[in-house]
Amino acid sequence: MKHGVLIIWHKNFKQLKELILSFNDSFHIYVHVDRKALLTQKELSWLDLCPIVKGVYRKYKVTWGTFSLLKAELFLMEKAIADPEITYLHMISGQDYPIKNMTEILHFFERYEGKEFIRTEQLPYEEWERGTYERFQYFRLNFVTYFPWGNKLSDFIIYLQKIIGFKRRIPDQYEHIYGGSNWFSITKQCAEYIVSQKNKSFYRRLKYTFAPEESFFATIVMNSSIAKNVIDDNLRYIDWRGTKDGHPNVLDQSNWFGIITSDAIFCRKIDGIESVQVKDNIKKYLLCDERANIDTQNGAWRTKSIVGHFFDKSLARELLSLLSLLKVRDVADFGCGPGWYTYLLYKQGYKVNGYDGNPHVKEMSSLLFNDGFYCQYADFTLPISVKEPFELILCLEVGEHIPQIYEDVFIQNLVNNSKKYILLSWAIPNQKGWGHVNCHTNEYVIERMRKYGYHYNLSTSAILRKAASLFWFKDTIMFFERH
């Protein structure tokens, strides 16, 4: 079965082409081209000849904040649901870009089959236009936005309505009105239901409402039986920090940490020269379908791909709280992978170093830092001695990759370079994962650490396990203190 990708496009054909080429033949692409946009005959021919592009349409002049965007999105949905092969639909703009490779995306939706990924908030909501229903109460005349200064004129017309005390009735077609994102990933069945509500009274009521797509989809879905399948996450990485005009920030390399540690499958917005570097890095490190290439001699990963690395945000927050409580100021991350936890601690002002057996660790980790800092190569099957031991060694899911003949060396590297604390996770028997050759029970690891003078702190370990969101950490996190 296929996934449908519905693209609302208005500028930069080169970027659209790159976006389309990021998908494989498991995806069918449908594109709505803004009637105001310019396309050459050569560009149109490329779209027509691209085998995964199943439809290109120029039906509406799309203007931000008006009814035209909702009409264009519903039009694409109507076209896509007629495709008998499609099971899921992803609504994106031409300024979106995937941040998971296609295999990961397909596996994700197999795992969550039948779930609807759409961001919703029941109104009134504090962050929604001063926490009120204001956008529903005043006429926003769509046609004026087609003229120069049209948005300013539209705002002035709304201002006049407020001055004279005019207010429209809040829509009452449903018990609750919802706001939400118009960028989502939903099942074909959900899309069919949404399309069936077109031209009904709630849809018509939104014609002169600001950004109606931000309330139409969420309200229709959440007032239906489909609501029970909704996961309140649209799987998009979007940077809204400091924005006040309703437009997200353009993504650049400073967003790299947020992108690579995100659970999202798409990011936005990618635009122009500002986004070139981060887009190139997404293609190089995230979209490659390269599986883990693991050195059987020392257990080290040898690929530049981020695939297979995971960052636990909840555990990271609890780790920061723990370090503050213990008054720890210097940390080493042994087996740091791409350097995510190292970067987090570095940005929080800790003296920290990251070490990993991947020969590409310097290249991969340096992308996170803008001051020349990077994580260092280290072979954990050989003795390692730092200039001065660290107060805490962090070592997450590394031991299971180390061949058993080097287990003693690996553990000695931990204890010899730690002054006081070791936060360790070690995969247990039968735990799934790539390159697991030396899994052990908690009891085995605790006994081994005890012989080196490290005591297992049960209560602290329990707090960290409870905080973790990744399932394996809930069984493997162990916090040790030197006697």
In 3D space, the residue among 164, 165, 163, 157 whose CA is nearest the CA of residue 139 turns out to be 157
In a domain, 273, yes or no: yes
Clarify whether residues 35 and 82 are in a common domain.
yes
Last residue of a domain, one of 233, 258, 281: 281
CATH number of the domain to which 466 belongs? 3.40.50.150
In a domain, 297, yes or no: no
Last residue of a domain, one of 266, 281, 296: 281
Clarify whether residues 190 and 85 are in a common domain.
yes
Clarify whether residues 372 and 263 are in a common domain.
no
**Residue-level pLDDT at 130:** 58
Residue 143 predicted with pLDDT over 70: no
Confidence category of residue 85, pLDDT binned at 50, 70, 90: very high
**Residue-level pLDDT at 237:** 98
In a domain, 305, yes or no: no
Confidence category of residue 148, pLDDT binned at 50, 70, 90: low
Q: How many domains does the chain have?
A: 2
**pLDDT tens for residues 283-303?**
999 998 766 688 888 888 888
CA distance 462 to 107: 31
Q: Are 176 and 94 in contact (CB under 8 A)?
A: no
- Please, which residues have CB within 8 angstroms of residue 52's CB and are 6 or more apart in sequence? 20, 23, 24, 25, 27, 28, 29
Residue 230 predicted with pLDDT over 60: yes
**Residue-level pLDDT at 437:** 94
Clarify whether residues 171 and 102 are in a common domain.
yes
Percent of the chain with pLDDT over 70: 97
CA distance 35 to 285: 35
Percent of the chain with pLDDT over 90: 79
In a domain, 236, yes or no: yes
Tokens for 86? 């499609």
Confidence category of residue 145, pLDDT binned at 50, 70, 90: low
CA distance 333 to 398: 11
Clarify whether residues 138 and 234 are in a common domain.
yes
In a domain, 308, yes or no: no
In a domain, 380, yes or no: yes
The residue-averaged pLDDT of 127-137 equals 73
Clarify whether residues 358 and 410 are in a common domain.
yes
Q: What's the mean pLDDT when you consider all of the chain?
A: 93
Domain hosting residue 152, numbered range: 2-281
**pLDDT tens for residues 432-481?**
988 999 999 999 999 999 999 999 999 999 999 999 999 999 999 999 99
Within 13 Å and on the Cβ side, how many CA atoms surround 178? 19
Burial class (CB in 10 A: 0-12, 13-18, 19+), 21: exposed
CATH number of the domain to which 261 belongs? 3.90.550
Amino acid at position 199, single letter: N
In a domain, 304, yes or no: no
CA distance 171 to 166: 16
Clarify whether residues 221 and 367 are in a common domain.
no
The residue to which tokens 């009274």 are assigned: 201
CA distance 331 to 390: 6
**pLDDT tens for residues 368-427?**
998 999 999 999 999 998 889 999 999 999 999 999 999 999 999 999 999 999 999 999
**Residue-level pLDDT at 140:** 77
CA distance 262 to 356: 22
Clarify whether residues 340 and 263 are in a common domain.
no
Please indicate whether residue 380 or residue 144 has the higher confidence score (pLDDT): 380
The residue to which tokens 């081209």 are assigned: 33
Amino acid at position 175, single letter: E
DSSP, residue by residue, 370-419:
SSS---EE--TTS----SS-EEEEEEES-GGGS-GGGHHHHHHHHHHTEE
Clarify whether residues 198 and 318 are in a common domain.
no
The residue-averaged pLDDT of 150-161 equals 78
**Residue-level pLDDT at 147:** 66
Query: 67-81 vs 188-196: helix axis angle to the nearest 10?
Result: 130
Last residue of a domain, one of 240, 261, 281: 281
**Residue-level pLDDT at 357:** 96
Please indicate whether residue 53 or residue 126 has the higher confidence score (pLDDT): 53
Clarify whether residues 377 and 432 are in a common domain.
yes
Confidence category of residue 223, pLDDT binned at 50, 70, 90: very high
**pLDDT tens for residues 19-76?**
999 999 999 999 999 999 999 999 999 999 999 999 999 999 998 888 999 999 999 9
Clarify whether residues 34 and 168 are in a common domain.
yes
Q: Please count the residues of the chain.
A: 483
**Residue-level pLDDT at 407:** 97
Q: Are 333 and 365 in contact (CB under 8 A)?
A: no
Clarify whether residues 211 and 275 are in a common domain.
yes
In a domain, 127, yes or no: yes
Tokens for 246? 């309703």
